[in-house]
Amino acid sequence: MSGVSAESIRRAISSGDCSRALELWNQYAADLRRKLTARLLSAAELTEAGELIAWSRPVVLSVRAHARDRLHALMVAGAYGCRAAPRSYGIRARF
């Protein structure tokens, strides 16, 4: 795949850099679309994309759940006029 690599997307997701991960995903998807339209997408590239999706989905859902929990804690704290205790969520992916 020219341009964005699956590994760069994995690194962005693993580091918690959601805006960078989204930017890379959009570029990656555009590359896939362009190659698919031109009938230049290889089976290996399609397999790589499928593996990336399978790996990233549960990680992204976990990050989203943690963000939702943090937002809820802030809303509850705001309702009672106190500050929510800061939490640190780390995601580590091992290959």
Compute the distance between CA of residue 13 and CA of residue 92 in angstroms, rounded to an integer. 10
Please tell me whether the overall predicted TM-score, pTM, comes out greater than 0.85 for this model: no
pLDDT at residue 1 is higher than 50: no
Give the model's pLDDT for residue 54. Answer: 95
pLDDT tens figures, 17-59 = 889 999 999 999 999 999 999 999 999 999 999 999 999 999 8
- Report whether 41 contacts 32 (CB < 8 A): yes
pLDDT tens figures, 55-70 = 999 988 988 898 898 8
Sign of CA pseudo-dihedral 59, 63, 1, 37: positive
Secondary structure class of 64 (helix, strand, coil): helix
Break the chain into its structural domains and give their ranges. Answer: 6-80
